[in-house]
Amino acid sequence: MSQRQHLPADERRERTVEAVIELCGREEPATLTTGRIARRMGVTQGALFRHFASKEAIWEAAVTWIAERVMARVAAAAEGVEDPLAALEAMFLAHVAFIAEHPGVPRLLMGQLQHPRPTAAGRLVRELLERYRRRLLGLLEEAGRRGQLRAGLDLEAAATQFIGCVQGLVLQSLIADDVAGIVDRAPAAFELYRHGIRADAGGDA
Amino acid sequence: MSQRQHLPADERRERTVEAVIELCGREEPATLTTGRIARRMGVTQGALFRHFASKEAIWEAAVTWIAERVMARVAAAAEGVEDPLAALEAMFLAHVAFIAEHPGVPRLLMGQLQHPRPTAAGRLVRELLERYRRRLLGLLEEAGRRGQLRAGLDLEAAATQFIGCVQGLVLQSLIADDVAGIVDRAPAAFELYRHGIRADAGGDA
DNA sequence: CTAGATAGTGACTGATTACTATCTTTCGAG
DNA sequence: CTCGAAAGATAGTAATCAGTCACTATCTAG
C-alpha cells in the first residue's frame, strides 16, 4: 500500500489541494479535518504541516488552484470567439463543465464565502468573483455596442445574473445530489438568460 | 443582567431559533456552537439541552421556522394577484424582502445544504425548495396558458432560474457584505428574468 | 401555603481537533 | 558510496465541543 511516498514538496502540495477538492465533493468543507485529508493521501496528519503553515493555508492554496483553473478554462473557451454573446455562451458552458468535472468546487467556494469576514481564502474567492464579473461586463458592453442587447438593459444586473444562473444550476444539483446532470440542464438555462438580455429581434422558438 | 429567565418551554425554543438565525447573520453556521447560542440568550449551555435533544434538533427547528415564514410571506404576496406574472414578481420581491429582514437565513440554509447526505435539517431544506419550485411551476403553467410566455420555454428551467435569480442576488450580497442593498437590486434582477420568459409581444424599453 | 413539576445552573466527560516536538527513512549531489 | 537535507512517522498537547448529571431556583395547581 506504500507505492510512492516521499514526494517533492511542490507535488505534495498539489496532491493536498486535489485531495481537498475531491473530499469537498462528498463532505461538508467545514467539517473536513486535516486528519481526513492526510488519510486520503496515504500520509500521516502531521506530515501536512511540513508543507502548509496552517489549515487555513491549505484552503488558500485550494482557492488559488481553483481560481487559476476556472479563469483559464473560461478564457480559453471565449478565446477567438468573435460574437460576444457566443463568447458568453461558451464561457457559461465551460464554467458548468468545469464544475461537473470537479463537483467539490461549488461547495468549497461557498464554504469559504460562509465565514463572513476576513479570512485570506474568503478574500481570494471574492477577488475571483470580482475578476469574473469584470470579464462578463466587458463582453456585455461589447454586445451592447453591437446592438445585440435590449435597450435599457442593466448591465450590472446582467453580469450578476450570469453568475446567478450558474448558481441556480449548482443549487439544483445540490438539492438533487446530481452534479453530473448539470451539464444537461445548462443549455436551457443559458437560453433563458440570453432571452433575458438580448434585443427583441428575429427571435424564434 | 438577569431580567427574565425561566421562560416556558415553547417560548424558550422560539428564542433559541431566533438567536440561531440572528447569529448566522454574522458567523459561519458550521462553527456556531451551542455555547455561543446559549450565551446570546443569557442562559447556560446545558440549559439548551432541556429543550432540544441535540444540536441537530436546533437546526431542524430553525429550518422549520424559516420554511413556515418564507412560504407564508410568499403566499401572502401572491394572494389575490390575478395576473400570474405579476404574482411571480410579488413573490420575488417578498422573498427578497424576507431575506433583507433576516440576513442570516441564506447562510443558514446554504450551510444545511452543504452537508451532502442525510441530515434531517438538510432534508427539510430540500423539501422547502421543492414546495417552492412546485408553486412557481404552477404559476408559470398558468402564465403559459394565457399566452404570456415565449413559445418553447422550458418551464422547469424557468422555475429553477427564478430561484437562481434570488440566489444570484444573495451571492452578490455575500460578496459585497451588503444584505440590505439586495432590495434595491431586486427589481432590475426580476426585470431581467421576466424578459427571459415572456412572449416577445409589445415589449418596450 | 405547599408540593410536584418545570426551567436553569455549574461542573464534568469523552471525543475530536489543529498543531508540534522528536525521531527515522529516503533521496540526490559530489 | 557517503552524507546532509528533505520528507514522513510517531506520539504527543492544549483547546474546544456536544452532551450529561446532580442540584437548585422558580412557577403553578389544588
How would DSSP label each residue in B124-168? HHHHHHHHHHHHHHHHHHHHHHTT-B-TT--HHHHHHHHHHHHHH
- Put simply, whether A59 touches B (Cβ < 8 Å) is no
Interatomic separation, CA of residue A13 and C1' of nucleotide D9, rounded (Å): 18
C-alpha cell at A197: 438580455
Q: Do B60 and B143 form a contact (C-beta atoms < 8 A)?
A: no
Three state DSSP letters for A36-87: HHHHHHCCCHHHHCCCCCCHHHHHHHHHHHHHHHHHHHHHHHHCCCCCHHHH
Mutate to test the interface with B, among A171, A191, A197 (most CBs of B within 10 A): A171
- Residue B114 beta carbon within 7 A of nucleic strand C: no
Determine whether the distance from the CB of A40 to the nearest atom of strand D is below 7 Å: no
- Asked if the Cβ of residue B39 lies within 7 A of any atom of strand D, the reply is no
**Which of the four pLDDT bands, split at 50, 70 and 90, describes residue B11?**
very high
Q: C-alpha dihedral over A45, A50, A53, A57, to 10 degrees?
A: -70
Nearest to B28 among A114, A129, A130 (CB): A114
Q: What are phi and psi of A181, to 5 degrees?
A: -65, -10
Q: Which residues of B touch A115 (CB under 8 A)?
A: 27-28, 31
Q: A55 is written with which cell numbers?
A: 489549515
The residue-averaged pLDDT of A106-115 equals 91
Distance B6 CA to D24 C1' (A): 13
* CB A126 within 8 Å of CB B175: yes
Confidence of residue A117 (pLDDT cuts 50, 70, 90): confident
DSSP B200: S
- Taking only the tens place, the pLDDT of each residue in A144-196 is 999 999 999 999 999 999 999 999 899 888 888 888 899 999 999 999 999 99
User: pTM, whole model, 2 decimals?
Assistant: 0.91
Task: Supply the pLDDT for residue A205.
Answer: 34
The residues, any chain, with a CB within 8 Å of residue B114's CB and separated by 6 or more, are A28, A29, A30, A107, A110, A111, A114, B30
CA B179 from chain centre, in angstroms, equals 13
d(CA B63, CA B119): 12
CA–CA separation, A166 vs A163, rounded Å?
Answer: 5
- Angle at the Cα of B187 from the Cα atoms of A145 and A125, rounded to 5 degrees: 75
Kindly determine whether the C-beta of residue B32 is less than 7 Å away from any atom of nucleic acid strand D. yes
Lowest-pLDDT choice from A72-86, B108-122, B179-193: B108-122
CB contact under 8 A, A167 and B171: yes
Strand nucleotide closest to residue B31 (CA to C1'): D17
